[in-house]
């Protein structure tokens, strides 16, 4: 990206989730999709915490170029991945797929996980009414 990039590293603790939300909110305060970006960031960081053991870090990268925002989160991927889901637990793809115009993941447990969501200023999604 040739626009603006910000990269922060947080300890892998629950406090990283609201901190990531606040950082993204401040960085994108004038962007029309700031609230979507805050939620995407918090969901991606929460997912990273699920995949990271205590004592490790989670990295947040926010890139802005023109009308496109990319939120990228990386973890060390050292936590066991066979933990059963809790009742009512929602994993990142559900919420992020509803808000982001694009998203994806690269999962390599030996080096960590990388997930991202992209938002485009003009890319408001119209969801069907159930």
Question: Is the Cβ–Cβ distance between 62 and 69 less than 8 Å?
Answer: yes
SS3 of the chain: helix, strand, coil, percent, to 5: 30, 30, 40
Give, to the nearest 10 degrees, the angle between helix 34-50 and helix 92-99. Answer: 160
| Closest residue by Cα to residue 55 from 38, 35, 75, 41 | 75
Domains of the chain listed by start with CATH number: 4-81+92-120 (3.30.565.10)
Tens-digit pLDDT profile for residues 46-83:
988 887 877 789 999 999 988 889 999 998 866 554 44
Residues 54 and 97: their CA atoms lie apart, in Å, by 28
Tens-digit pLDDT profile for residues 83-109:
444 444 555 567 787 788 888 888 776
User: What are residue 6's phi and psi, to 5 degrees?
Assistant: -135, 130
Question: Is the Cβ–Cβ distance between 7 and 61 less than 8 Å?
Answer: yes
**pLDDT above 70: residue 30:** yes
**What are the residues whose beta carbons fall under 8 Å from the beta carbon of 70, sequence distance 6 or more?**
1, 61, 62, 63, 64, 116, 117, 118
> Whole-prediction pTM value?
0.79
Residues 115 and 91: their CA atoms lie apart, in Å, by 12
């Amino acid at each position: 990206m040739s626009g603006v990039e910000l990269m922060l590293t947080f300890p892998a603790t629950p406090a990283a989730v609201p901190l990531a939300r606040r950082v993204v909110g401040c960085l994108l305060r004038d962007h029309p999709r700031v609230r979507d970006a805050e939620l995407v960031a918090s969901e991606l960081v929460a997912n990273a915490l699920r995949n990271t053991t205590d004592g490790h870090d989670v990295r947040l990268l926010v890139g802005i170029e023109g009308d496109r925002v990319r939120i990228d989160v990386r973890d060390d991927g050292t936590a066991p991945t066979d933990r059963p889901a809790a009742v009512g637990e929602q994993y990142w793809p559900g919420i992020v797929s509803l808000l982001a115009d694009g998203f994806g993941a690269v999962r390599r447990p030996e080096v960590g996980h990388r997930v991202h969501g992209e938002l485009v200023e003009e890319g408001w999604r119209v969801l069907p009414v159930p």
